[in-house]
């Protein structure tokens, strides 16, 4: 079913994709919300599909549905539990309904960079988090990196007070809501696919995104520059249904997980380059990128940090400490 490696972008494609799997092959539908080209998740998903379709031909067949063409992140995990999709890689902020532990990753200024995130995720504490939704029927398979988040709005953001009164789009995460409330701003939870339009029409004023999302969704077109805050992380968990995974033949499961592990290692190792390239592409459009002095950045830390205390009960002080150790 090598033909099924083709990426499906819409309803017409969807029908085509279904026809492309051979009878007897395990169909693995992978639904995600970003673009495919030059995006960390898009690249990794395509590489995974390519390898599964080539190396597991006759046994398994993967179809990738990017750009929220099948489900947005609000729906995808429910769809997984009902067997409509087998794989997804929502950002860690999207697991709120399934585990409060993942709130850790949304704490502002917790990880100093993506290397620290990587060290923590690969620690025993980080790996254990992949199992934290098993009661709810989901198994975390691999963490995939994107990058650190930057702030933007329809006016320059230099001081925390600049964000006051502005409406910011947030992912479906109460930590991110609290982070913007801490600034006196108005956070609004919204699906990723709606953000560009909402910025354009002024329904919202600003947002927070890693460089690959800023470039991939062209948010720079409808924002007054980007402030390089690196204030939080946007990473992913490749997730599947526990029941589906258990139901696979052992050799199919083993081969699939081996390929996923290799794709994860390869693409996570390359992610800083992708992040940097997308930052450069944003800069090349003439978009103003505002960097902060240490003192200016510290003011954002001071403004946002009280959020940590609010969620310590959900996350656990031990886990928060373990994560901080990864900053070295
Ligand atoms: C978002 O909703 O902003 C991100 O989770 C989208 C993504 O998958 O990168």
Q: How far is the CA of 72 from the centre of ligand 1 (A)?
A: 10
pLDDT band at residue 97 under the 50/70/90 scheme: confident
Ligand 1, closest atom to CA 195? 3
* Cβ-Cβ contacts under 8 Å for 84 (sequence gap 6 or more): 29
- Cα–Cα distance, 139 to 146 (Å, whole number): 20
Query: pLDDT by residue (tens digit) across 243-253?
Result: 999 999 999 99
Phi, psi angles (nearest 5°) of residue 81: -65, -25
Distance CA(157)–CA(228), nearest Å, equals: 10
Q: pLDDT (tens digit, 9 = 90+) per residue, 123-159?
A: 999 999 999 999 999 999 999 999 999 999 999 999 9
CB atoms within 10 A of CB 217: 22
**Residue among 91, 204, 210, 237 to mutate when testing ligand 1 (max atoms within 8 A of CB):** 91
**Measured distance CA(36)–CA(14) in Å, rounded:** 16
Q: Would you say the CB of residue 35 lies under 6 angstroms from ligand 1?
A: no
> Is the pLDDT score of 3 beyond 50?
no
CA distance 246 to 29: 17
- In terms of Cβ atoms closer than 10 Å to its own Cβ (0-12, 13-18, 19+), residue 245 is middle
Q: Is the pLDDT of residue 19 over 50?
A: no
- Give pTM, 2 decimals: 0.94
Nearest CA to ligand 1 atom 1: 192
SS3 284: helix
- Cβ neighbourhood burial of 50 (10 Å; 0-12, 13-18, 19+): middle
Per-residue pLDDT of 185-207, as tens digits, reads 999 999 999 999 999 999 999 99
Q: Which two tokens stand for residue 70?
A: 């099948």
Q: Find residue 233's DSSP bridge partners.
A: 148
Measure 177 CA to ligand 1 centroid, in angstroms: 15
CA 163/CA 172 separation, integer angstroms: 20
Instruction: Establish whether residue 142 lines the binding site of ligand 1, counting it when its CB lies within 6 angstroms of any ligand atom.
Output: no
What pLDDT score does 96 carry?
86
Ligand 1, pocket-test mutation among 151, 192, 196, 238, most atoms within 8 A of CB: 192
Residue 194 has a CB neighbour count (10 Å cut-off) of 14
Determine whether the shortest distance from the Cβ of 171 to ligand 1 is under 6 A.
yes
Range 22-40 average pLDDT: 95
Q: At which residue do the structure tokens 């919202």 appear?
A: 204
**Span from the CA of 305 to the centroid of ligand 1 (angstroms):** 23
pLDDT over 90 (residue 255): yes
DSSP string, 119-184: HHHTSHHHHHHTTTTGGGTEEEEEEEEEEE-EEE-SS---SGGGGTT-EEEE-S-HHHHHHHHHTT
What ipTM describes this predicted complex?
A: 0.99
pLDDT tens digit sequence for 264-312? 999 999 999 999 999 999 999 999 999 999 999 999 999 999 999 999 9
Counting from 1 in the atom list of ligand 1, the atom nearest the Cα of 146 is 9
Residues linked to residue 140 through DSSP beta bridges, in sequence order: 239
Closest-lying ligand 1 atom to the alpha carbon of residue 171: 2
* Ligand 1 atom nearest residue 209's Cα: 3
Counting from 1 in the atom list of ligand 1, the atom nearest the Cα of 192 is: 2
Q: What is the DSSP letter of 232?
A: S
Output DSSP code: residue 8: P
pLDDT score at 328: 87
CA angle 289, 144, 127 (to 5 degrees): 125
Cα atoms found within 13 Å of the Cα of residue 264, Cβ hemisphere only: 20
Q: Is the CB of 215 under 6 A from ligand 1?
A: no
Of the chain, the percentage scoring pLDDT greater than 90 comes to 92
Tokens of 141: 């398979």
5 — pLDDT class (breaks 50, 70, 90): very low
Ligand 1 centroid–CA 209 distance in Å is 8
Q: Which two three-digit tokens encode residue 123?
A: 């620690």
- The average pLDDT across 157-177 equals 98
């Amino acid at each position: 079913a090598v033909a099924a490696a083709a990426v499906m972008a819409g309803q017409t494609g969807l029908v085509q994709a279904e026809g492309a799997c051979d009878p007897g092959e395990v169909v693995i539908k992978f639904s995600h919300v970003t673009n495919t080209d030059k995006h960390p998740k898009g690249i990794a998903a395509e590489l995974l599909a390519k390898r599964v379709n080539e190396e597991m031909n006759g046994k398994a067949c993967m179809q990738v549905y990017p750009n929220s063409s099948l489900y947005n992140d609000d729906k995808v995990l429910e769809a997984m539990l009902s067997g409509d999709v087998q794989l997804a890689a929502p950002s860690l902020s999207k697991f709120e309904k399934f585990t409060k532990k993942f709130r850790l990753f949304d704490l502002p200024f917790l990880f100093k960079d993506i290397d620290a995130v990587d060290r923590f995720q690969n620690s025993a504490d980080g790996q254990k988090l992949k199992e934290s939704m098993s009661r709810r029927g989901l198994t975390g398979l691999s963490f995939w990196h994107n990058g650190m988040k930057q702030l933007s709005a329809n006016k320059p953001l230099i001081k925390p007070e600049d964000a006051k009164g502005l409406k910011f789009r947030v992912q479906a995460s109460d930590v991110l809501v609290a982070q913007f409330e801490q600034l006196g701003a108005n956070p609004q939870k919204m699906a990723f696919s709606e953000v560009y339009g909402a910025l354009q029409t002024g329904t919202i004023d600003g947002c927070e995104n890693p460089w690959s999302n800023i470039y991939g969704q062209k948010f720079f077109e409808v924002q007054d520059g980007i402030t390089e805050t690196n204030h939080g992380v946007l990473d992913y968990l490749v997730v599947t249904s526990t029941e589906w995974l258990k139901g696979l033949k052992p050799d199919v499961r083993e081969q699939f997980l081996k390929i996923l592990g290799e794709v994860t290692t390869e693409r996570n190792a390359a992610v800083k380059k992708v992040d940097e390239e997308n930052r450069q592409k944003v800069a090349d459009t003439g978009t103003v990128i505002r960097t902060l002095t240490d003192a200016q950045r510290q003011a954002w830390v001071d403004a946002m940090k009280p959020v940590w205390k609010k969620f310590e009960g959900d996350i656990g002080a031990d886990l928060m400490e373990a994560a901080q150790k990864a900053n070295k």
